[in-house]
Chain A
Amino acid sequence: MWDYSEKVKDHFYNPRNVGTIENPDGVGEVGSLACGDMLKLMFKLDDRGRIADVKFQTFGCGSAIASASALTEMVKGKTIEEASRITNQDIADYLDGLPEQKMHCSVMGREALEAAIANYRGEKPETEEGEIVCNCFGVTDKAIERAIKENGLTTVEQVTYYTKAGGGCGTCHERIQEIIDRVIEQTGGGIWRTKPKREKTANIRRMKLIEETIEHEVAPALRKEGGDIELIDVVGDKVIVALRGKCTQCLLSGWTMENFVQAKLREFVSPEIVVEEAKE
């Protein structure tokens, strides 16, 4: 049995945002019945250009359904620009990881999103460009190259896990190897030396987000009152901060912590965040 994370199971058992939207602004469709999985994604923007509604339909295994559901949650409220920066790794991270053999589900999510965005912009999705390498699953050299670069893949097997290419008859294995070799040559092997460690990347991004939220959303209001706030540490969902200036004597500092600092962080970073005051 697959070792699915609790989050994958939750999104599989209770998929969010299933269905269709009338008159969507963008629609993306990738995969096919024959390939064993397919995802149809559509969204509608609000008047500020943010994704107001997003819905999906999918045919696929547990992790395909979970990836699609997670993706819809991730893009909600984002601008097209922000949404287009979501990588397959982000989807996997959001789900607390996917079994490596199932990473193609996260790639399918990213591709559907891209297709939907391209559809909105009236462009052709990038994944459709290039030359078909794997006939069984209709995967192009461009798509393979991108998966290799974005995920630091080194073996044909990994390429299969991430794109399904080579998972059928196997006659394209040599060509996949050639593409891997070419990417290594082009980048001087650089992408593997800097191969992103899954959790680290996610954590650094999250840390930055926490920092920015405190700097832009929290600190200005406190400074106006003669106080200040400093980020001390982040441990998992726990954010440790220290109050400075007038805040230290404020009788309402406990209230500020919970209803202002924590509320802002929950709003901008993640609903699981718990704020603690550093004891010095």
Chain B
Amino acid sequence: MRRVYADNNATTKVDDNVIEEMLPLFNEIYGNPSSMHTFGAEAEKALRQARERVGEFIKADPSEIIFTGSGTESDNTALFGTLQAYPGKKHIITTKVEHPAVLNPCQLLAKKGYAVTVLPVDSEGMLDLDELRDSIRDDTAIVSIMYANNETGVIFPIEEIGQIVKERGVVFHVDAVQAAGKIPLDVNKLNANLLSISGHKIHAPKGVAALYIRRGTRVRPFLIGGHQEKGKRGGTENLPSIVGFGKACELAAEHLDVYSGQVRAMRDRLQEGLLRTISETSVNGGESPRIPNTLSIRFEYVEGESILLLLDREGIAASSGSACTSGSLEPSHVLRAMGIPYTSVHGSIRFSLSRFNTGEDIDYILEKLPPIISKLREISPFVETTPAPKKQ
């Protein structure tokens, strides 16, 4: 059976070149970068090179990069580290559509007495920048806003947002985990003080990520331990993965054209094909600028988990905004924030492509999905069994 992996916003396959680069770090260059001996020096050199590559990828100085264990850790460090550095400031601004790695800490902080402004989005997933401007206060400690949304792919105008936040002298954190590798990243243009990226979304292994900390931005460590990462993150560095991450960043920069070209074309073809062949179907955030690999699409009257299970049976991997797949009962907070009716949130499916997908993958999805939706609609009580005569 053909297998099509179209869930690259969840995680990606590790690039063979990345694996190759990592292998010597397990049993040849296995020293501790903090050690004084030659073993340590070799490891330190590998660490330095990885840091340079990651820095280069987002146009930062290597000294501004700290390695962490996950995108979540980067986001948490940005939030808690900033608040600890500015104990007098008690206000946080974020958005309703952030990843749980930002939203849940903010909820916790709200319980602990912080004022948290959670900005809404419109039906296309877009922010009102005036509302953002008005919500910044003198005691605002941090503004944390994602670059691209993981579910819909909608891109926020981070350059403009960065300008607004900078004018007010507030720390600006950008969760760029889903944007990295899909659109160019330049921390200087973004006016970001802090920026999170994660390895496993760009064909590096899981368990490695980075937080960019602009020189001069004060952040207290989140993991407290040794003096690694210039005292900003305790714990011996996960060197093989960090080296893999460095290589993945280098490759991601080289492949940006592939994303803006072939990957976007595949996504658009998939989108148009599904809209054409399946009735009562719409794209979530389709009117907004989106990263080129993501398609969030909703099918009325059917439920996401059922679609996913039937797709999986055909070898196609996607994900859904449906509640049932997550184990919670609430459907996607992102789609609900966009005001997508409760009734159609449940039937939303996300396809997220990578440079490893092919045109045949798209053909295969376009062949297999329409009959699945028809089958489920036949079972659905919301669809008339005998089709109503079409309006003339």
Q: A residues touching B (Cβ–Cβ < 8 Å)?
A: 1, 12-13, 15, 18-20, 29, 33-34, 36-40, 57-62, 64-65, 101-102, 137, 160, 164, 167-168
Q: Is the Cβ of A59 less than 8 Å from the Cβ of B382?
A: yes
Q: Is the Cβ of A62 less than 8 Å from the Cβ of B381?
A: no
Extra pairs beyond A12-B306, A59-B382 (17, CB < 8 Å) = A15-B379, A18-B378, A20-B385, A33-B301, A36-B303, A36-B329, A36-B331, A36-B346, A39-B381, A58-B379, A59-B380, A60-B324, A61-B303, A61-B322, A160-B329, A164-B329, A168-B329
Q: Is the interface of A mostly helix, strand, loop or mixed?
A: mixed
Closest to B330 in A: A168
Closest to A33 in B: B343
CB contact under 8 A between A57 and B329, given known A34-B343, A36-B323, A36-B346: no
**Chain A positions within 8 Å of B301 at CB level:** 33, 59
Q: B residues touching A (Cβ–Cβ < 8 Å)?
A: 301-306, 309-310, 312-313, 322-325, 327-331, 342-343, 346, 378-382, 385
| Number of inter-chain CB pairs below 8 Å | 72
Q: Is the Cβ of A18 less than 8 Å from the Cβ of B322?
A: no
12 pairs, CB–CB < 8 Å, chain A vs chain B = A15-B379, A33-B301, A36-B303, A57-B385, A58-B381, A59-B301, A61-B304, A61-B306, A61-B324, A62-B306, A62-B324, A160-B329
Of listed A13, A29, A37, A160, residue having the most chain B CB within 10 A: A37
Closest to A168 in B: B330
Q: Is the interface of B mostly helix, strand, loop or mixed?
A: loop
Closest to B313 in A: A13
- Cβ 8 A contact of B381, one of A59, A137, A164, A168: A59
**Chain B positions within 8 Å of A15 at CB level:** 379
Q: Is the Cβ of B303 less than 8 Å from the Cβ of A12?
A: no
- Cβ 8 A contact of A36, one of B309, B322, B327, B381: B322
- Cβ 8 A contact of A33, one of B313, B378, B382, B385: B382
Q: Is the Cβ of B303 less than 8 Å from the Cβ of A57?
A: no
Closest to A68 in B: B379
**Chain A positions within 8 Å of B330 at CB level:** 167-168
Tell me, in angstroms, the Cα distance from A168 to B345 when the chains sit together.
Answer: 14
Tell me, in angstroms, the Cα distance from A62 to B322 when the chains sit together.
Answer: 12
**Chain B positions within 8 Å of A58 at CB level:** 379-381
Quote the shortest CB–CB distance from B359 to chain A (angstroms). Answer: 28
Tell me, in angstroms, the Cα distance from A44 to B153 when the chains sit together.
Answer: 49
Quote the shortest CB–CB distance from B110 to chain A (angstroms). Answer: 15
Quote the shortest CB–CB distance from B341 to chain A (angstroms). Answer: 8
Q: Is the Cβ of B379 less than 8 Å from the Cβ of A65?
A: yes
Q: Is the Cβ of B323 less than 8 Å from the Cβ of A18?
A: no
**Chain B positions within 8 Å of A101 at CB level:** 327
Closest to B328 in A: A167
